[in-house]
A and B are shown apart, each in its own frame.
Chain A
Amino acid sequence: QVQLVQSGAELKKPGASVRVSCEASGYSFSDYFIHWVRQAPGQGLEWMGWLNPKSGATNFEQNFRGRVTLTRDTSVNTAYMELNTLRSDDTAVYYCASSYDYSDYGAFDVWGQGTQVTVSS
């Protein structure tokens, strides 16, 4: 079945970087954008940016430009989100998501299970 599987929880110190992976299966990885969304404790969902797996093109919400890098390895059907210069307020659950059946409408019907990233000294 169509699914996205993310890497495990991370504990990082302030100023460090973290990389979260998102492996796609059950569909053609290159054909559907991968989006990244996060939820900080007690907060709502926050969209971070998207990656076009076919071309490698990316785009970001303004707050994340310059601090987030989105990449992919098509040989293993995996997208990566790297967040640099971590701060305590980057502590959140990070999700990858895709519009598999609804790419014409921008609705995310496939989600990874989420990756907890904790930033603490």
Chain B
Amino acid sequence: DIQLTQSPSSVSASVGDRVTITCRASHGIGAWFAWYQHKPGTAPKLLVYATSSLQSGVPSRFSGSRSGTDFTLTISSLQPEDFATYYCQQASSWVAFGQGTKVEIK
């Protein structure tokens, strides 16, 4: 099975800050990689699919990238509605989620 190691587990940031979240895969994944935003009391929301493609309706301040087995979600300028927990996910071998990164108000 492919394991995902997500970091950091939490980050404190201010509105306007650039935030970067990383997910490292234990093996090669190909394009079967996504990022989600999750807020309490709601269902997870797909942000990025196929490593770097933005889901329809997702603001352009979100972006995904990859270097080898390291995947990155970047929020270029944090907005008040972005405070949430973010998860990476792979579907190359079964399905697995990263441990989550909570983005908190500084």
> Which A residues are within 8 Å of any B CB, using their own CB?
35, 37, 44-47, 50, 59, 61-62, 95, 97, 102, 105-109, 111-114
Q: How far is the CA of A97 from the CA of B31 in the complex (A)?
A: 19
Inter-chain contacts of A59 with B (CB < 8 A):
94
> Which B residues are within 8 Å of any A CB, using their own CB?
1, 31-34, 36, 38, 43-46, 49-50, 55, 85, 87, 89-92, 94-100
Interface centre among A35, A61, A106, A108 (most CB of B within 10 A): A106
Q: How far is the CA of A59 from the CA of B77 in the complex (A)?
A: 40
Q: How far is the CA of A92 from the CA of B105 in the complex (A)?
A: 26
Using known A-B contacts A44-B100, A47-B97, A95-B44, determine if residue A107 contacts B91 with beta carbons closer than 8 Å.
yes
Closest to A6 in B: B43
In the assembled complex, the CB of A106 is this many whole angstroms from the nearest CB of chain B, namely 2
